[in-house]
Structure 1
Amino acid sequence: MSFVPAQTTRPNGGKSDENFRYDKNAKSFPTRKELPQVEGTPPGAAWFWGPDDYIGRLNLLTDERIKAASKFIKSGTLVPLNLPLDMPLVPAFGREPFEHEIKTLVPGMSYDDKYKLNTQSGTQFDGFRHFAHLPSQTFYNGTKEADIVGPNANLKCSIHHWAEHGIAGRGVFLDYWAYAKAQGTTYDPFDHYAIPHSELVACGKAQGIDIRPESQGGDILPGDILLIRSGWKETYDTKKPEERKVAALREEVPGPHDGQRWAGISQEEANVDWIHDCYFAAVGGDSVTFEAWPSLKEDYYLHEYLLACWGVPNGEMWDLERLSEACKEQNQFIFFLTSSPNNCHYGVSTHANAMAII
């Protein structure tokens, strides 16, 4: 993927308009192929919520959509989606393990907690400061490294913007791990495995969901929150502690020879188009990386599109085991979902603090 600024165009052609903005209440939006390109932005960027926008597609979580999503609460079953803060005990990508200490205020009477943690371990969302469009080293909506660290650091793309808005909406769950096992497909989520778009389509069909956007005749609505189970948590539970440690400490090497190797959805164009055109408010999964890691066939990562180009929160290491059981038992894979981002000024990412209500 190369950084080649393009002229500003309207989605349907016509006159250039550098002030073009999305209406968050619209019923449909430009497809990826129709995206207007604005001079000075990365190819494929969709920064059309305003110059000071730092919540991206969370803009789609409007009052109307949240109210409509609440109608998918049928049984009222609560399903927490968060791993323990100390899981995995040895985090991947060189991240610090969780540390917990109890502070005594008054012996026998009062105690506090002291946490030391990396928000990228445990169930979390990548924030927009986490991963740039690599060729241009640009983060969402024109944010640069100097905005994040150094003497001129400011609040552009700070995670507190998410906290002030909140996250709640219609969750859509694709239990790919269960589908793959039913089809006799075997793979190790602790190694590279790229889930193709065709398999996600088939998985959705098996669950009674047409995963195309509503504008193309499918069941996905703007502002939906996508969750995909790829089997990481179930596999983690079957591995011995030393096996988990060895996998987490594999050598990090930028590019296709990276020793960090994890299952997730493929970077193929069909998946890029699908995620964009569905206008998900956020995506997430049980995998360490959501997308297959590393990217082997493409010269880009989905992280670039999701975080830097489109402003889509990217969730990783969500606990989807109980959700899998509950959705299967109730034959319901669409539900109400909430998440409470950490209200941290200058923050990069956040624990998800997420709950499904079926």
Structure 2
Amino acid sequence: MNNQAAIGFLNVSQSVLADSAELHASYDLCITAIGWERRSNHALKNMVGRSSNTKLLKFSSTDDYFISKKKENEESALAVLGSGFQIVYLSRSVDFAANFIAINELILDAVRVASRPISILIDISCVPKRYFLFLLGLGFKREIVGRMDILYSEGKYAPADVIKNGTHVDKGFVSDGEWTSVQIPYLEDSDYSPDSRDLFVSVGAEVTLAMPTVERFEPTALRLYKVSDSDKRFPENYLSSEEPALAALAALPRSSSVAFALDDIIGMSRDILDNRTRHTTCLAIGPKPHALALGIAALADDRIQVVCRTPKAYVPSDVSAAGPILRFTIEDRFDPLSCWPT
């Protein structure tokens, strides 16, 4: 597995974060999210003292369980950071239109202060995929970000022990209700409506729920990107229950599949670029690092677009930190920093 590569106009590197000294001493902007999961603050210590502009995104919730867990994680985050941060209050994470506007202004404010392309350190562990993909596209398509260091705390999933009205609630692991599709701004296809289109899908633990979304696309060819070591993160009986849906997708005409390790965004990005033959939609329903690989491929080829699914609601799964913190660095190879006034 290559740990550093040039992909399009970007330099990309990947590793397990062994020491926080591997990160830059300072960044123009640090971003993390206050989530309900136990892993929410696992990587937070790596942000301490690295920026005078640290933002904690807090998406609003209506569920009492999520509210209480976010409150606990907010208090522990404040204890770790001490000072030099701001909580950014956002609408529910499924209300992406309003949140995109707020996050766009957050980035542009940092660029205005710096008067040059900025460096960002972001922990995506509890940031929904559509939001960090939006940041990726916004930053590098508009050349207002020169470097982005991304942290991801691996998670181990288990059903949450939630009791409502005296009844145990068991809805699943990630989402609940019907999905809708969200086109990621700045990661769009140059042709809005080509004659034919392939579909590349990052699949994870919700293959059955993905079936209607995949079928609606009616792609010319289908390529599935699986995670090579999912058994470390989900109970075996749950993964087994998803096998029939995965087999059904693999049996579709002109379907192929390949597996990549969770941290191999370079290998996956290159595979996407090597196997594209026409305009391609990349559907991000798998793990967050693999969604990042889709975004990198889309930045390298304007015939690729990235689409995320938005569930009706999220379920209160219990996600603990599995151990390693993954680090990904993305830099503009043409260094827009040297072209801007200082």
TM-score interval for Structure 1 and Structure 2 normalised by the shorter chain:
under 0.3
Per the normalisation by structure 1, the TM-score is 0.27
Structure with the higher strand share, 1 or 2? 2
Structure with the higher helix share, 1 or 2? 2
Per the normalisation by structure 2, the TM-score is 0.27
